[in-house]
Chain A
């Protein structure tokens, strides 16, 4: 595995020009994700309309892999339903940890570039952080809905 295989152009593009970057003032679901061992932080803000993820904002600080993943994730889940977003989170985790594939998933095409990270086992958790933060935000939203 070469260095270019890890830092693919598409990953660096998302790192340098993150999509959907920023907090959402009108978010109705949010979560803060922290990887205490490397200090990576990701904040996910969601504006949900019923079961639909209408808008997403992502902020954070950390390595290129964690921040680029947050950007790619935001693009892929925006406009999808909560169930679809959860399913994408599963599919992504499966690709990184169980040899799953993202082929035939156009909305997740950029995320496939993160496959190379699998060659660097300590960095896999960097790719999972935005997704676990997203899942936590959705869990909180669901729990709030029940209490309403």
Chain B
């Protein structure tokens, strides 16, 4: 039974007060809070197990290796990968996307080729491709975002051409909340011989994600947005592609045999994991995956769909509020970007902070999207498993305080 009140008891930080008010944490798309189980897994590792992995022959090293590799198996099960060897641990989503660009991209993209992304992408799914395109003389092509906050599948079909080598889209927008039809786009990409990369930073924490259903080639996501620690993320890749790919970083752990002039590579996934990995955070990430698995991702999705519908309704009822992104809660996740009259989002966020409410304000690492929406910035409230309708009521109430401070707020969003 999904009970946010009981879930809240697992998160010590939610007991905190900010400016004398109970913390209302609505900045989950930036990073989530961590349950006691994850915090304890981290301290337990350092207090009882700490050792380097894959080399020692002593008890601690064996235990650390087993726990770290268990986390990899959990990550594989979480997204229905065909095996843990398809799970490459990285620092975060950004590093995972860069790995694809630097390894698969460098080997397969040539002058005149095209890379298709969209206007709503996070900078982490823009800049690695810009760098690759510049290096190779390739062209970066943008799928447009409609006024409804959706991508146009027909337009994307026309944009994927003979020269398209890579299509890379976010599964769920960190600003608009839009859930993109990545499985359909993957079909179109494959029909033209392109690979499909999915930025799952916002989807894997919030929706059931099964790479067999998406039928994509790469999926990137981060631990810290899904109850786990910072500093650990995942690149999932189709085994047949990963096997062909060259490593990006060289060093210990990623090699099989080192000769004077050359080396041979370790097996998947270690071929891509040079040096001592982030063992402690990886193990604690395993606990976060256990926690979410226990809740059930379908239940997580349902809870957030209800919260999002409630937020759209109550925020949308304020005449001063402009909400961006799809109206239909079935087509979006729990990231709700909005503006309040003509007041700059940074001013709104500062007033909300004094009411104990943590939201994000700014461009959300999405400058191309801000230009497409013709706004300089937005406020964003984003929800997770421990948020409640009462917290959305608190947000709506606190927006009244913005009016108190700034008086006349009428006008076009800045």
Contacts and interface: CB of A to CB of B under 8 A. Distances in A.
Contacts of A36: 367
Contacts of B370: 39
A65 B362 CA distance: 15
B351 A64 contact: no
Interface stretch (B277-285, B330-338, B406-414): B406-414
A61 B367 CA distance: 17
Most B Cβ at <10 Å: residue of A6, A38, A41:
A38
Contact of A39 (B347, B351, B405, B414): B414
A10 to B, nearest CB: 14
Contacts of A38: 344, 346, 362-363, 376-377
Contacts of B406: 7, 12, 15-16, 64
Contacts of A3: 350-351, 354, 405
A123 interface: yes
B405 A40 contact: no
B376 A40 contact: yes
A63 to B, nearest CB: 4
B72 to A, nearest CB: 36
A6 B350 contact: yes
Given A39-B363, A39-B370, A64 B347 contact: yes
Nearest to B408: A16
28 contacts: A3-B350, A6-B350, A7-B405, A12-B405, A12-B406, A12-B407, A37-B362, A37-B363, A38-B344, A38-B362, A38-B363, A38-B377, A39-B362, A39-B363, A39-B375, A39-B414, A40-B376, A41-B376, A61-B414, A62-B344, A62-B376, A62-B414, A63-B347, A64-B343, A64-B344, A65-B346, A123-B346, A126-B346
B350 A120 contact: yes
A20 B346 CA distance: 24
For the residues of A in contact with B, the DSSP-based class is: mixed
Nearest to A39: B376
Interface residues of A, number: 21
Most A Cβ at <10 Å: residue of B351, B362, B375, B414:
B414
Contacts of A37: 362-363
Contacts of A15: 406
Contacts of B377: 38-39
Nearest to B346: A63
A60 to B, nearest CB: 10
A36 B354 CA distance: 26
Interface in B344-389: 344, 346-347, 350-351, 354, 362-363, 367, 370, 375-377
Interface string A27-64: 00000000011111100000000000000000001111
A36 B344 CA distance: 14
B376 A61 contact: yes
Interface of A: 2-3, 6-7, 12, 15-16, 36-41, 61-65, 120, 123, 126
Nearest to A41: B376
Nearest to A15: B406
Nearest to B343: A64
Given A39-B377, A65-B347, 6 more contacts: A3-B405, A12-B405, A37-B362, A38-B377, A64-B347, A64-B406
Nearest to A123: B346
Contacts of B414: 39, 61-63
B112 to A, nearest CB: 31
Most B Cβ at <10 Å: residue of A6, A36, A63, A64:
A63
A41 B376 CA distance: 9
Nearest to B353: A3
A40 B354 CA distance: 22
B232 to A, nearest CB: 27
A61 B411 CA distance: 12
A6 B347 CA distance: 10
Contacts of B362: 37-39
A27 B376 CA distance: 27
Nearest to A122: B346
Interface string B126-162: 0000000000000000000000000000000000000
Contacts of B343: 64
Given A37-B363, A38-B362, A39-B376, A16 B350 contact: no
**5 closest Cβ contacts across the A-B interface?**
A39-B376, A63-B344, A3-B354, A63-B346, A39-B377
Contacts of A6: 350
A137 to B, nearest CB: 21
Contacts of A2: 354
B35 to A, nearest CB: 29
A64 to B, nearest CB: 5
Contacts of B407: 12, 16
